[in-house]
Amino acid sequence: MDQQNLTILLYFSALLCTILTALVVDLRIKVLRLKQKNYFLKRDRDRYAETIYAAKDGYFAFIYPDERINDPRRDITERCSRRLAVMLDLKNGRNSSFDDVLDAFYKEDARKLQKYLSLMQEDGIAFEDTFQMKSIKKNMRIFGSRINGSDGNLYCDMLWFRDLSAEQIKIENLQNSMNEKKRQLTVFQDLFDHLGLPLYLRNENLDVMASNKAYQTISKDNESKENLILKGLADQALQTNQPQHQKLQAVIDGQVRYYEAVETPFHNDQTLDKIGTVGYLTDITAFEDIKRDFKTHQNAHLSVLASLGSAIAIFDTKANLVFCNKAFKDMWRINSETEEKKLSYADFLNILRAKRMLPEVSDFKAYKTQEEKLFSSLIETKENLIHLPDGRTIRRLVSPHPNGIIFAYEDVSDKLAAERMIHELMSVEQNILENVQDAILIFSQDERLRYFNESYIKLFNASRIKLQNLPSAMEVFDMQKAYFSKVEHWDNLAKHMKKHIFEICDDFQLQRDDGSALIVKPSILSDESVMVRYLEK
């Protein structure tokens, strides 16, 4: 072989080696890439598997052979998850068959689940239903669905098992809580409905959203006018953010009744922007009737007071004159013009002072303050005498009145003068009787002792204290009993004396134990009292 052919052969050999080396390197790179791809595929598969294992639901899968390749697996493969084995307490664990799964349920539910599975495997129909386990009394929610690839290849039929125990407990708790709330609402509704007080609740639009039967009765029986009044009152409560009151009348069962409506704002749903109102109606019909009756009686009372001869005036709780009769105006010289100026008690005292018609006092300011305290301290009737500079004496009665204080004035100057004259005459008479040597007793019309003198005390050695207690005639005679011990029937003698003194009014004689004789001379005085004189014979 010549040199030229050898060179060509070497060159061709080198080229072949280079090509082979490049092919080997390329194959090596492809192998490495394939291994890397297989690694990531395996890793993703493991991740997906672990993700499924970590799900709280258990599953049972029916895996089908791949129809697009020559898959050596010709039969359907069953796969039970670890979670499902634990949930159903399967003895074979992950190796459990679907028959083991069916055995965990009641026969009725097992047949139903088998029927669902058949429909899914034959027609791909998904299902969802609840089944009850027979051993641990749990309810299991089972979802059935078919999984296909994007290329239309059938992958598997999956059954997902969800334990409803926790959800059931929550549902039962919620149901129990709801039942308790319903019971409480029923109790509160019964409470509100059986209240005689009409109650209602308005939302932020002032619409009634809740009410009791009492309010519903009023609302049903009346025209919308009252409802408009209440709605306007509620709007006013919202605007002022203060409770609002208003009186209204309604017709209930054909009778007119009076109510006081109250609307009180509150924050609805505990939010600041939603404000509703709580309203209630208080039946004040009886109170209004009493007010009318009181007004009627008051007018009649004032008419009587106006006709009395005594000076009468009524000052209200604010110490302003609200009523006075003609006798009051005449006594204190109050003209109509002064009365119309809403005369206060302080002004009244100032007018009387200017006219010198008040008692002379050193400190008028203190006197006036003391008088004005009557309006805050008077709880019972008080009486006193007012001595005026002009010599008159006025008897004043001050008494609480529903409208304030009522003052009654009476000029008792003549009466007091007459009483003084009578006392003086009585004093003169008493001095005369005391200087008479005869023992004297004077009995009033009711047969009680009214007067005795010293001569009587000496005659019968009588007890002054007992006589001062003004005993009855029989008690006076009993004090004389010691001087008539020889009398066999004293009671008859006492009755005889009483009859002769008060009925016959005739003289009679008494014989005492010491032998002395007394002549008893009764006589009737001008005031029909009886004077008895005891004369020693």
DSSP of 334-347: --HHHHHTT-BHHH
462 SS3 class: coil
At the topology level of CATH, where does 307-415 sit?
Beta-Lactamase (3.30.450)
User: CA distances (Å), 327 to each of 201, 208, 214, 331, 388, in order?
Assistant: 57, 59, 53, 6, 18
Residue 436: other Cβ atoms inside 10 A: 12
User: Is there a shared CATH topology between the 195-283 domain and the 307-415 domain?
Assistant: yes
- Largest distance between two CA atoms of the chain: 218
From the centroid of its chain, how far is CA 201?
17
88 SS3 class: coil
Predicted local confidence at residue 478, as pLDDT: 92
Lowest mean pLDDT among 20-34, 150-164, 290-304, 400-414: 290-304
Residue range 30-54: average pLDDT? Answer: 68
Query: CATH number of the domain at 195-283, please?
Result: 3.30.450.20
At the topology level of CATH, where does 50-163 sit?
Beta-Lactamase (3.30.450)
360-383 confidence digits (pLDDT tens): 888 999 999 999 999 888 889 899
Residue 359: other Cβ atoms inside 10 A: 12
Percent of the chain with pLDDT over 90: 20
Residue 339: other Cβ atoms inside 10 A: 15
Tokens of 517: 């004789």
Q: Cα(99)–Cα(400) distance, rounded to whole angstroms?
A: 100
Of 195, 179, 4, 161, nearest to 84 by C-alpha is: 161
Predicted local confidence at residue 335, as pLDDT: 81
Q: Cα(83)–Cα(509) distance, rounded to whole angstroms?
A: 137
Residue 188: other Cβ atoms inside 10 A: 11
272 versus 139: the higher-pLDDT residue is 139
| pLDDT over threshold 80, residue 2 | no
Domain map of the chain by residue range?
Answer: 50-163, 195-283, 307-415, 434-536
pLDDT band at 41 (very low <50, low <70, confident <90, very high): low
Pick one of 3.40.50.11270, 3.90.1170.50, 2.40.50.140, 3.30.450.20 as the CATH number of 434-536: 3.30.450.20
406-419 confidence digits (pLDDT tens): 999 988 887 766 66
Q: Which amino acid is at 522?
A: P
- Is 0.85 topped by the overall pTM? no
